[in-house]
Chain A
Amino acid sequence: MNDERRMLVDAATSIFEDLCSPETVRAAEQSGWPGPLWSALAEAGFPWVSVPEQHGGSGGSVADACALLRVAGAFAAPVPLAETGLLAGWALSSAGLELPSGPATVGVGNRDDTLGLTGSPGSWRLSGQLHRVPWARESERIVAIAQQHGQAYVVSVKPDDTRIEPGRNLAGEPRDTVRLDGVATSDDAVAPAPDGVSTDALVLRGALARAALMSGALSRVSAITIRYTNERQQFGRPIARFQAVQQHLVKIAEQTEAAIMAVTAAAGNAVRACDFFDVAAAKIVAGEAANIASASSHQAHGAIGMTKEYELGQLSRRLWSWRDEFGRAEDWSRLLGRQVAEAGSDALWPRISTGLFSNA
């Protein structure tokens, strides 16, 4: 990690330490929004890292943003840090639209969702629906890709102009259904999507963001499982002395390192755009790690891990949610498998042996 990124991570860590305790996370699952945490993050410009400064962002790279997300994941941070800059901020700035000053999100919807744009400058209207939009009700803007006559547009709508049906994920994070019935949209909130900006591209970035969050949550799961099993005594000694428990600890730590490696390489290579192979691999590996580490850490914890109070559950419920969001490992395996098969057997080794290729 370079010095600048290290400073960024250290600064973020101290904000989360102060303002994102397990109690804050628990409270946010009820109240919906940890105001002081968001204000502090916004003050530091963290939600807009990776969005160019000339577009109102904080500058920095996708790798910087993912390094921040790793910290956020470790603290189970209940805020749309990924959505605001890396996703919505990217789409808006790429299309030359203005960034809101508050939290923003993206709606990629599910397979059957559509979002249609009608009208023309001065009279734009948006109709359609988007399911499972993260943090929609807490956002200042919902950003999405709408279609008109085969042309894609980046659009930015105010949640108040839509009908929102609140939903949530397994961790109690808002995942809302957003319905738009001919929402009048001003000219400064609609722009043709430039090359490379599409729903697929948003899903790809979203997958990278979720994998980064997961890699952070995994580190924390590993740390608290090591701590707990060294404290908890049974049969007259710390349970970490039992070989069966040690096997859990090693598996969790290994899976964590694999997820971090995949995410760091994928984020490091995402200089101009996210590489499909890299991000698919990162989401697959992080998803697999989430499966294994959540099962092993719960087993090693016994009943205490099954309580709402204890920190493990905040992390495991997020791992179980994030592994599904923006495509499950199964979905990405299918997509990646298609791409690899198309490239053919002679291209297989050259691609697998292309790891981190960017020094940026």
Chain B
Amino acid sequence: MEFAPTTLTAAEEELRSEVREFLAEELPPDFRPGLGMAAGHNPGFSRKLAARGWVGMAIPPQYGGHGRTAVDRFIVTEELLAAGAPLGAHFVADRQTGPALLHYGTEEQRQRFLPAISAGECWFSLGMSEPDSGSDLASVRTAATKVDGGWLINGTKIWTSGAHLNHYFAVLCRTSPNEGDRHAGLSQLIVDLSAPGVKISPIPYLDGSHHFNEVLLQDVFVPDDMVLGEVGSGWRQVTSELAYERSGPDRYLSTFNVYREMLRELADQPLDDTQTRTVGYLAARFWTIRQLSLSVARLIDARRAPAMEAAFVKDMGTVFEQESIGLLRAAADRELDPGRGSLFARLLAEAILTGPSFTLRGGTTEVLRSVAAKGLGR
């Protein structure tokens, strides 16, 4: 394990101040903060952010990006999340699909997608899960068959967050039959969500919102140049793609705004003992997990491969998010009124309703720990 605390350089501190100023100007005074990754889809906001150079930061300038470090991206991301800013439009493309295209995509794909992603104008969803394939992702049955000039893809993807809003999704599918090695024969295809044969149906989310979808693919034609990386290396790509998403600030800041709003609401009254202890305890935990996550970003910049460290942060972070909901609820010390309550009460209600997803999305706690256990020295 290589975790080590790290200081921010003067330039990094400067970046942080710039982001804070930007957010103070951009977010209206009556702005209602969102919870982490679910904080709202706002194209205008994403474009403005991109105009400052804060989308596609990890992408090199020759592809319209900014060639910044993982730590720089960490700083921007954590400021956005801490403010509850609406980062939903660009977030998945920026965190996941952009880097995947950069690493595995063809030159033509990089030229085509990366400048648009970096401009905050090209948004992606993730097409991995299926009705019968959740944790056991290698069992996906969506299949593409070779036709002249491309592929015909058929199957059903499920839980696809934002499919109704985004432009594309990267679909994990079978491009050759499963013959023994189940990890072989899988590929990632970039599918245009507005292509003929794509049918997107909302799956009402627990809190009543429209968050995820079922995406039916019926004879959808995908041209050859939309195969992400090499045919047959989908499994390797997807598993490393999962590693990217594991340890960022989106894995522990989902409930931060509930915490801050509680503090704001209690500002003019004396805190009781439970409230005081909750405020202190959460501060300690946020402070520590943030430094673990930041240290992973430093390791990435130092060209290490902190896979274990990233898995640890994701596991600890998401479990902590859920624990924090219980503590904040206990500290609230009243019956929850999600309709008419204060901003704190409404955010807490949202956290309670969406909290169970924190340890599911991006790979469940149980599976994550099984993978991590294999890496523990013996």
Interface string of B1-18 (1 = CB under 8 A from A): 101111100000000100
Task: Choose one: B5, B316, B366; the contact of A265 (CB below 8 Å).
Answer: B5
Q: Decide: A355 near B3, CB < 8 A? Known: A280-B280, A337-B281, A348-B283.
A: no
Chain B interface (Cβ < 8 Å from any Cβ of A): 1, 3-7, 16, 78, 82, 256, 259-261, 263-264, 266-267, 271, 273, 275-281, 283-292, 294-295, 309, 312, 315-316, 366, 369-370, 372-373, 376-378
- Known pairs A247-B366, A353-B290; A261 contacts B295 (CB<8 A): yes
Residue of A nearest to B367 (CB): A243
A360 to B315, CA, bound (A): 32
Q: With A250-B315, A352-B286 as known contacts, state yes or no: A257 contacts B3, CB within 8 Å.
A: yes
Partner of B280, one of A1, A250, A337: A337
Asked if residues A333 and B284 are in contact (CB atoms below 8 Å), the reply is yes
- State A260–B292 Cα separation when bound (angstroms): 10
Question: Do A333 and B277 have beta carbons less than 8 Å apart?
Answer: yes
Q: Chain A, 1-30, contact with B by CB distance < 8 Å: what is the 0/1 string?
A: 100000000000000000000000000000
Q: Does A338 contact B (CB under 8 A)?
A: yes
A:288-302 near B, CB below 8 Å: 288
Most buried by A among B6, B287, B309: B287
* Chain B residues near A344 (CB-CB < 8 A): 263, 267
Interfacial chain B residues near A334, Cβ < 8 Å: 273, 276-277, 280
Q: Which DSSP category, helix, strand, loop or mixed, fits chain B's interface?
A: helix
**Across the interface, do A281 and B82 meet the contact criterion of CB distance under 8 Å?**
no
Which of B6, B82, B280, B291 is in CB contact (< 8 Å) with A333? B280
Q: Would you call A235 an interface residue if the criterion is a C-beta within 8 Å of the partner chain's C-beta atoms?
A: no
The answer to the question of A226 belonging to the interface, with a C-beta cut-off of 8 Å to chain B, is yes
* Alpha-carbon gap, A48 to B189, bound state (A): 63
A sample of 7 inter-chain contacts (CB < 8 A) reads A258-B288, A262-B291, A329-B281, A333-B277, A336-B280, A341-B279, A345-B263
* A355 partner, pick from B261, B283, B290, beta carbons under 8 A: B290
Chain B residues with CB under 8 A of A105:
none
Could you say which residues of chain A place their CB within 8 Å of the CB of B312? 250, 253-254, 257
Is A185 an interface residue when CB atoms closer than 8 A count as contact? Answer: no
- A282 / chain B contacts, CB cutoff of 8 Å: 284
Sort chain A's interface into a size bin: 35 or more
Q: B6–A356 contact, CB under 8 A?
A: yes
Interface string of A342-359 (1 = CB under 8 A from B): 001100110111011111
Ranked nearest first, the 10 interchain pairs of A and B with the lowest CB-CB distance are A337-B280, A336-B280, A246-B373, A281-B284, A337-B276, A337-B279, A345-B264, A333-B280, A356-B5, A284-B284
Residues of A within 8 A of B (CB): 1, 226-227, 230, 240, 243, 246-247, 249-251, 253-254, 257-258, 260-262, 264-265, 268, 277-278, 280-282, 284-285, 288, 329-330, 332-341, 344-345, 348-349, 351-353, 355-359
Contacts of A257 in B (CB 8 A): 1, 3, 292, 309, 312
- Nearest to B373 among chain A residues (CB) is A246
Which of B5, B264, B273, B309 is the one whose CB lies under 8 Å from A264? B5
Please report the C-alpha to C-alpha distance between residue A278 and residue B288 in the assembled complex, in whole angstroms: 9
Q: Are B276 and A253 in contact (CB under 8 A)?
A: no
A355-B7, A355-B291 are known; give 10 further A-B pairs, CB within 8 A: A240-B373, A246-B373, A247-B369, A254-B315, A262-B288, A330-B277, A333-B278, A337-B281, A339-B280, A340-B263
> B291 is contacted by which of A226, A349, A356 (Cβ under 8 Å)?
A356
Cβ of A182 to closest chain B Cβ, rounded Å: 39
Partner of A250, one of B273, B309, B373: B373
Taking CB atoms, residues of chain B closer than 8 Å to A329 are: 281
| CB–CB B287/A348 < 8 A | no
* Most B Cβ at <10 Å: residue of A261, A262, A277, A357: A261
Q: Which chain A residues border B294 with CB–CB below 8 Å?
A: 355
Contact (Cβ within 8 A) A268 B5: yes
